[in-house]
Amino acid sequence: MRSRGWAIAFVVLAVTGCGARRDAPQGDAMTLPFARTAKSTTPIEHVVIVVQENRSFDDFFALFPGADGATRGKMRVKQGGGYVDKWVTLKPHSLIMQQDVAHCHSSFETAYDHGRMDGFNLVPVGTCHKGGTPAGTSVYQYVQQSDIAPYWDIAKQWVLADHMFQTQGSGSFTAHQDLVRGGTSISPTKSLIDSPDGWPWGCDAPHWAVTWTINKNGDVGENGPFPCSNAFPNYGSDGYTTLRDLLDAATVSWKYYTPCFSKKDGCTPGGHCPNCDGDLLNAFDVIYPVRNGSEWKTNVAMPQTKILSDVRDGKLPAVSWVIPGDNESDHPAETVDNGPSWVASVVNAIGESHYWKSSVIVIVWDDWGGFYDNAVPPFQDRQGGLGFRVPALIVSPYAIAGNSSQGGYISHTKYEFASILKFVEANWNLGSLGTTDERATSIGNVFNFKQEPRTFKAIGSRSSALFFANESPGAQHGDPE
């Protein structure tokens, strides 16, 4: 079923953030939700980052024509007194997968194996730091095209980036920080990595919660500070800056659309919120001035489906992040995955609205989720990155057209999460946050702002925007990580 009819009523945009510059403004910033002082340097007035969960590039696009995909991968198997590499064929699989494979930094190191990319089969199923049965051949797979048809349709028409790498080889907690900040450094020698040891992930965590860190030698330990930016050594509440700081300074509007964050209905300090996602994937719960300032109510929009009403009501901010609910996240080990339809509804809403000619939508998956990928990360910075490749799609009327019959273009440029942030910084002339945005290549090289805006064609999907707007709160709770 196509989402065309209902999508006309709704529009979505979500964007991503950066940085750690010490001189960026902080505090309870004055909130001007839709005022724009800084003018965009291109026809783009809205940037969207739609963040999905836990898939490698090969898991979704291994067979996409012209992309750097794989049909087989290496496994490290025991033979005699040692290990040898064995090639195995990647097998088709449904989008629903019953197991969740560990994807913390130690999992990354095991799978990466000093660049040999042959240890994915040795990563355990289950929670990081607690061991478990090795995943074996189950992670050497690709999802059937029919299960993720909206993603393939977007790639066929717009831009598929086949070398987007995580900032760190780690899980969702640091990935979401990287998508608002471009890095997780908390001192000149340490960065956050993996997940805090207590829920919620941020300033609302129980008092005993600590974070994991990685130092300049690559050593990982459960020795970090409380997961709230005012507790970070050398940075504190005045130095752990995000894209929010640059946007506020330039009076450029932003919102972070995320599933609910509440201490009601069984959500208690240190306990998981049964109907809420914000206790896990709300990046701004880590940011003390936001969590304890007025922007928590004005700029952190809950639930994430408010993006639909904001588009409908003409209240779309310049920069947005859109975080999925559990049933829309693509996260493994779930019984429902409406992720492809959710993303299609967001794209269709924008594409069929008056926002289309001034928008860029970036769809990115936050980590590799344990699945095999063939591309060796181009470098290691001893702070946990770069991590593995994840899928990335870019949709805009100014996207350059490729050679396919529908106009799709494959960008082979090496990107990382800060490549998105760098484009936002340049588009509004915000300056740099001084994290990985300084080294990253901007996604701006996939646009031609001199061309006539391309016409939007709706993406087919099983569920419409109306379905998600009316979804019960219980379906919006969070992923395990």
pLDDT per residue over 357-406, tens digit each?
999 999 999 999 999 999 999 999 988 999 999 999 999 999 999 987 88
Q: What is the pLDDT of residue 15?
A: 35
**311-332 b/e (C-beta count within 10 Å ≥ 16 → b):** bbeeebbbbbbbbbbbbbbbbb
Question: Are 417 and 16 within 8 A, CB to CB?
Answer: yes
Q: Provide the 10 A C-beta neighbour count for residue 306.
A: 16
Question: Domain coordinates of the chain in residue numbers?
Answer: 4-71+142-476
pLDDT per residue over 52-103, tens digit each?
999 999 999 999 999 999 999 999 999 988 899 999 999 999 999 888 999 9
Tokens of 364: 């990115």
Question: Are 293 and 29 within 8 A, CB to CB?
Answer: yes
Second-level CATH architecture of 4-71+142-476: 3-Layer(aba) Sandwich (3.40)
Question: Are 208 and 235 within 8 A, CB to CB?
Answer: no
Q: What is the pLDDT of residue 267?
A: 47
Q: What is the pLDDT of residue 357?
A: 96
Contacts of residue 341, Cβ cutoff 8 Å, sequence gap at least 6: 3, 150, 328, 461, 462, 463, 464, 467, 468
Tokens of 5: 């009819």
Contacts of residue 480, Cβ cutoff 8 Å, sequence gap at least 6: 100, 280, 331, 333
Question: Are 362 and 16 within 8 A, CB to CB?
Answer: yes
Low-confidence ranges of the chain (pLDDT < 70): 1-37, 262-279, 472-481
Question: Are 173 and 195 within 8 A, CB to CB?
Answer: yes
Tokens of 220: 């990982």
Contacts of residue 361, Cβ cutoff 8 Å, sequence gap at least 6: 12, 13, 14, 48, 50, 346, 347, 350, 394, 395, 396
The whole-angstrom distance between residue 320's C-alpha and the CA centroid of its chain comes to 12
Q: What's the whole-model pTM score?
A: 0.89
Distances (CA, A) of 83 to 257, 347, 370, 375: 46, 46, 21, 22
| Residue 243, helix vs strand vs coil | helix
CA distance 273 to 477: 8
